[in-house]
């Protein structure tokens, strides 16, 4: 929960005992804080929000990519051992992602249309220094005002009103920002897939590339196992496509593309056949893409 949300919660708790709505007057647009009833709904929404991850996706393809439906998976080099648990998990994730695009694993290596090589890992640490802003709020006492209240009736039954002085609820006001710097270390996590024609190398040259896909993300985490399915879900829709350069994709933990990937990868690991077909296009389309 960020500082604004913590401040909202504290403000709601302080004024919930007063029995009247606490109004708020911001000093600049976009800083209005709602009354307690709306605060409760806002805080509930904050609690239910999913985590978002930004992924960089870069994909290239050849016209023949549409014809390549069957594949075999292997490591991109000797530095990745095929008998390790990490590789087996990564390969299962890749198989599930490819099944989401209508591709299937060939029953025999010689019958595959393409050979998909898998490379993944964590880059060296990188130190980042970032300028941040923390909003500052102050409580302003409520204003006094005069109101008329009914205090009784006269002999003829007419209402009698008297002037009384009341005080409005206090106001929470934005007064500025505290500027500070933070220094932290980030790590790049990446996965690279390259599909080549299933043909032997000719004159020392590898078989022709059919399509390639690179997905990466950078933050403070070194948990590659956690990020492999997230990166794969960001790239599902770009398998066999051209991204037109590097794009930034926002993936949420409750995206159906990610849920599809995790669910079917578990089925694949237990020996069950993954669900056929890709996740609905609308689900994959929930990821926000922008050129970077």
Mean pLDDT (whole number) for 189-194: 96
Q: 180, 204, 219 — which closes off a domain? A: 180
Of the segments 41-50, 151-160, 256-265, 271-280, which one has the largest average pLDDT value? 151-160
Helix 85-99 crosses helix 224-235 at what angle (to 10 degrees)?
A: 20
Residues 95 and 192 in one domain: yes
Q: Say how many domains are in the chain.
A: 2
Residues 78 and 157 in one domain: no
201 versus 101: the higher-pLDDT residue is 101
Q: How much is the pLDDT for 14?
A: 44
Instruction: Mark whether 165 and 236 lie in a shared domain.
Output: no
Local confidence band at 49 (pLDDT 50, 70, 90 cut-offs): low
- Mean pLDDT across the chain, nearest whole number? 80
Q: CA 288 to CA 266: how far, in whole Å? A: 26
Looking at the fold, whether 71 and 194 belong to one and the same domain comes out as yes
42 assigned to some structural domain: no
User: 8 in the Ramachandran plot: left (φ > 0), alpha (ψ -120 to 50) or beta?
Assistant: alpha
Name which of 4, 18, 5, 40 is nearest 174 in CA terms. 4
Mark whether 100 and 203 lie in a shared domain: yes
Q: Roughly how many angstroms between the first and final C-alpha of the chain, as a whole number?
A: 28
Q: Where are the beta strands (DSSP E) in 90-241?
A: 104-105, 114-122, 126-140, 144-153, 159-167, 171-197, 209-219
Parallel, antiparallel, or unpaired for β 247-252 and 288-291?
Answer: antiparallel
Residues 259, 138 share a domain: no
Reference 211, options 279, 133, 113, 86; nearest CA is 113
pLDDT, residue 197, reads 92
173 occurs within a structural domain? yes
3-class DSSP state for residue 54? strand
Give yes or no: residues 235 and 156 share one domain: no
**Cα 160 to the center of its chain, rounded Å:** 62
Pick the range with the lowest mean pLDDT from 106-115, 258-267, 268-277. Answer: 268-277
Residue 254 confidence (pLDDT) above 70: yes
Question: Are both 201 and 264 inside the same structural domain?
Answer: yes
- Ranking 75-84, 136-145, 201-210, 257-266 by mean pLDDT, the lowest is 257-266
Q: Which residue has the higher pLDDT, 268 or 183?
A: 183
275 inside domain: no
pTM: 0.65
Judge whether 39 lies within some domain. Answer: no
Where on the phi/psi map is residue 240: left (φ > 0), alpha (ψ -120 to 50), or beta?
left
Q: Taking residues 156-174, what's their average pLDDT?
A: 92
Mean per-residue pLDDT for 101-112? 90
Domain containing 154 equals: 131-180
CATH number assigned to the domain comprising residue 246 = 3.30.160
- pLDDT one-digit tens code per residue, 125-149: 999 999 999 999 999 999 999 999 9
CA dihedral 22, 23, 28, 30 (to 10 degrees): 80
Residues 203 and 219 grouped into a single domain: yes
- Do 141 and 117 sit in the same domain of this protein? no
206 is a domain residue: yes
Please indicate, yes or no, whether residues 61 and 120 belong to a single structural domain of this protein. Answer: yes
What's the rounded mean pLDDT across residues 238-263? 87
Task: Tell me the per-residue pLDDT of 53-99, one tens digit each, with 9 for 90 and over.
Answer: 999 999 999 887 778 889 999 998 888 888 888 999 999 999 999 98
Residue 32 in any domain: the answer is no
pLDDT band at 229 (very low <50, low <70, confident <90, very high): very high
Q: Is residue 41 part of a domain?
A: no
Whether 190 is in a domain gets the answer yes
Same domain? 120 vs 153: no
């Amino acid at each position: 929960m960020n500082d604004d949300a913590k401040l909202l919660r504290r403000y709601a708790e302080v004024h919930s005992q007063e029995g009247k709505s606490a109004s708020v007057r911001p000093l600049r647009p976009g800083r209005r804080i709602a009354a307690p009833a709306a605060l409760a709904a806002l805080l509930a929404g904050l609690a239910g929000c999913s985590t978002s991850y930004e992924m960089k996706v870069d994909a290239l393809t050849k016209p023949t990519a549409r014809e390549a439906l069957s594949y075999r998976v292997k490591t991109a080099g000797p530095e990745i051992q095929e008998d390790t648990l990490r590789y087996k998990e990564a390969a299962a994730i890749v198989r599930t992602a490819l099944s989401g695009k209508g591709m299937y694993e060939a029953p025999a290596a010689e019958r595959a249309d393409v050979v998909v090589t898998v490379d993944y890992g964590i880059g060296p640490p990188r130190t980042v220094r970032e300028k941040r802003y923390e909003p500052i709020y102050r409580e302003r006492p409520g204003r006094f005002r005069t109101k008329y209240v009914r205090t009784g009736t006269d002999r003829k039954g007419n209402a009698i009103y008297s002037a009384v002085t009341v005080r409005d609820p206090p106001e929470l006001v934005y007064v500025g920002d505290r500027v500070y710097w933070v220094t932290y270390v980030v790590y790049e996590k990446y996965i690279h897939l390259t599909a080549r024609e299933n043909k032997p190398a000719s004159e020392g040259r590898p078989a022709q590339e059919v399509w390639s896909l690179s997905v990466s993300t950078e933050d403070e985490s070194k948990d590659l196992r956690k990020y492999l399915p997230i990166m794969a879900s960001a790239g599902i829709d770009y398998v066999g496509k051209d991204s037109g350069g590097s794009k930034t994709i926002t993936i949420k933990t409750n995206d159906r593309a990610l849920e599809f990937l995790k669910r079917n990868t578990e089925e694949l690991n237990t020996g069950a056949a993954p669900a056929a077909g890709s996740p609905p296009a609308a689900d994959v389309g929930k990821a926000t893409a922008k050129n970077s």
